[in-house]
Structure 1
Amino acid sequence: MNANFVIIGLPASGKTTFLAALWHLIEADETECRLKLDSYEGDLKYLNSIAEAWRTFREVPRTSQVGDIDVAIQLVDSVTGSKGRAFFPDLAGETFDVQVEARRCRPIFRKNVDADDGILLFINTNSRQDSLSIVELNSMMPPDDSGDGTADTRPSASTVIEGEKEGDLTASVQAEWEPKKVPAQVRIVQILSDLLRSPFTPRKRQLVVILSAWDVVASSRLSPPEWLAANMPLVDQFLQTNDNSFVTQIYGVSAQGVSLDNSEAVDRAAKLPPSHRISIIGPSKSGHDITEPLAWLISTN
């Protein structure tokens, strides 16, 4: 059995950091992991460079900074001998932004999705926009006409100011809505709903949701499914409503292990084997093995 998995996610959702940690984990053999490296397709220099950045607590360069790179890693299950191919389509989350905003996708992505046996969807738990309350969102909206013939012209977060001279506002224009303002969870639901219709082939899919930067929200004491329901209810409701299209498992993953802005935490983490910085919490257990979600996908095919 040779299963194929496609990795998707918006910009800065944690895909590249996950790949860097995964590449180190399956090569270094520092800690037990169920899946082993069988082969790879893509730029070995790129894989080694992001893994080295990850090991040395440097910001892992995103694909949009280095150009489009397709990477595929062939993995073998050390327990069952089953194989799986994880395909990272160009890794740049901007690709998925284009899919939402311009309604276009790359032919190679459609081809790999049509051939996939499972999907890994990355969601960044440290997304401020999607955690705003209705009150906070309303405060960012353009002011409404009061109805008495006078409009509130005070500048707001969504106002474009033109002709400002020495503190004087000579004119103001309300910024028009544009697709770039769509919240993350709306984008995620759009990407998932696209898979249910042409040009993709609608069918039942295995879906792993990776909640990245889990260390940021771990203090909430919520399980990954509870966090998704509380913080991204639109995504949670979509998955529950479409359980005939997606068989879903949800994991909380901290691939970096610490915030790179926290020097004390970095110093403590530097004393550990790099693989031990990784943490994952899944449906049945927690630990350092971030091949677990892929192992689940392989086992269900």
Structure 2
Amino acid sequence: MDANFVVMGLPESGKTTFLAALWHLIEAGDTDCHLALDGYKGNLTYLNKIAEAWRTFQNVPRTPYGEEVDVSIGLRNQITGERGTAFFPDVAGEVFDRQVIDRRCRSDFVDAVSADDGVLFFITANTHEDFLSLAELNARLGIAAGVAPINVGGAAPVTNNGGEEELGANPAVHGRDWRREDIPRQVKIVQILSDLQRSPFAQRRRRVAIIVSAWDLARSMNMTPRAWLASHMPLVDQYLRTNSIAFEHEIYGVSAQGVDLRNAAAVDEAAKLPQSSRRIQIVGSEGEGHDLTLPLVWLMSAKE
């Protein structure tokens, strides 16, 4: 039986770079991997464009929000013969961001998720935004150092030097108001996952392969991807572990680019590799390697 997978993740979580490297890997066939190309639907020009950027060590261009480039890639397991389709819906991650903020999503996306057999969910290892200090948060909101915090319900009103009550923050002093866009990344991730278990989505147990992208940023921590998630995304980790009835999950650390493009020396070394696909780094429960298709192999191995 063919399996279908939906790719999800917030903006800048690594989906497009993963797609570029995956397309190169299964099309070029320059290194061993479990899955082979078994057809596709979507914009071939777009796929070739991002794969060429990946091959030539350029930043893979992100998809502008609102430009629909849905891509479906058919895959075949070269050992077992199992088949599957990975659906990258509107690769721009803003579609998932807006789902949390506006509580809306496209009907065709609902249909795709309702028919899926698993989810490939991307989380970036570049998580600095979720760990801002109070000083950094105040700076982000435009609040000057030493300024009294914004008055909240129940507290005595703040008075100005003339003795008049200021019922609320002065934006010129306190900065802008908090917005829904400021929701921490891991809160958004939990919201997206929890949405899958309520209407309009079909409610059932799903397999979720968590992809921690930009894994090269986490390598020096000497942690497994599972330990990294528990340490840096504790809310996501706890949600997945306490909702095992709804989700069976596996976690992979992935560096699809394989090198920091700002490091000229590292790029030069990577360019000397006999196969471009050897740049790819993936860490999972099976160990380390270069086969970017392993998470999809795990999703396809679900027992009926």
TM-score, normalized by length of structure 2? 0.89
1:234 equivalent in structure 2: 235
Q: How many residues align?
A: 286
Q: Is the aligned partner of 1:131 residue 2:128?
A: no
Residues 56-85 of structure 1, C-alpha deviation per residue, up to 9 Å, x if partnerless? 011111111792100000000011101000
Q: Is the aligned partner of 1:285 residue 2:287?
A: yes
CA shift, 1:236, in A, is 0.5
1:297 equivalent in structure 2: 299
Q: Which amino acid aligns with 1:277?
A: R
SS where residue 256 of structure 1 aligns? coil
Change beyond 3 A, Cα 1:149–1:65: closer
SS where residue 269 of structure 1 aligns? helix
Q: Is the aligned partner of 1:221 residue 2:216?
A: no
Q: Which runs of 5+ in 2 are unaligned?
A: 162-168
Change beyond 3 A, Cα 1:134–1:252: farther
1:276 equivalent in structure 2: 278
Q: Is the aligned partner of 1:211 residue 2:212?
A: yes
Change beyond 3 A, Cα 1:140–1:298: same
Residues 97-121 of structure 1, C-alpha deviation per residue, up to 9 Å, x if partnerless? 1100000001111000000000000
SS where residue 63 of structure 1 aligns? coil
1:169 equivalent in structure 2: none
Aligned partners of 2:251, 2:123: CA distance in 1, in Å? 11
1:190 equivalent in structure 2: 191
Q: Which runs of 5+ in 1 are unaligned?
A: 153-157, 162-171
SS where residue 64 of structure 1 aligns? coil
1:167 equivalent in structure 2: none
2:165 equivalent in structure 1: none
1:99 equivalent in structure 2: 99
1:42 equivalent in structure 2: 42
Aligned partners of 1:114, 1:92: CA distance in 2, in Å? 20
CA contact (8 A) 2:23 2:51 kept: yes
SS where residue 218 of structure 2 aligns? helix
1:79 equivalent in structure 2: 79
Change beyond 3 A, Cα 1:95–1:140: closer
CA shift, 1:147, in A, is 6.1
| Moved segments of 4+, more than 2 Å | 131-143, 145-152, 158-161
Q: Is the aligned partner of 1:177 residue 2:182?
A: no
Residues 6-58 of structure 1, C-alpha deviation per residue, up to 9 Å, x if partnerless? 00000010000000000000111111100010100111111111000000011
Aligned partners of 2:28, 2:69: CA distance in 1, in Å? 23
Aligned-CA RMSD value = 2.2
SS where residue 227 of structure 1 aligns? helix
Residues 248-292 of structure 1, C-alpha deviation per residue, up to 9 Å, x if partnerless? 000000000111111111111111121000010001111000100
Q: State percent identity of aligned pairs.
A: 55
1:11 equivalent in structure 2: 11
TM-score, normalized by length of structure 1? 0.89
CA shift, 1:176, in A, is 1.5
Q: Which amino acid aligns with 1:195?
A: L
Aligned partners of 1:202, 1:71: CA distance in 2, in Å? 25
Aligned partners of 2:299, 2:44: CA distance in 1, in Å? 25
Q: Which amino acid aligns with 1:121?
A: F
1:249 equivalent in structure 2: 250
Q: Is the aligned partner of 1:267 residue 2:268?
A: yes
Residues 110-155 of structure 1, C-alpha deviation per residue, up to 9 Å, x if partnerless? 0000000000000010121113356755776753269695579xxx
Matches within 5 A, 1:138-177: 142=143, 143-144=148-149, 160-161=171-172, 172=173, 174-177=175-178
Change beyond 3 A, Cα 1:29–1:270: same
Change beyond 3 A, Cα 1:99–1:65: closer
Aligned partners of 2:65, 2:103: CA distance in 1, in Å? 23
CA shift, 1:174, in A, is 4.0
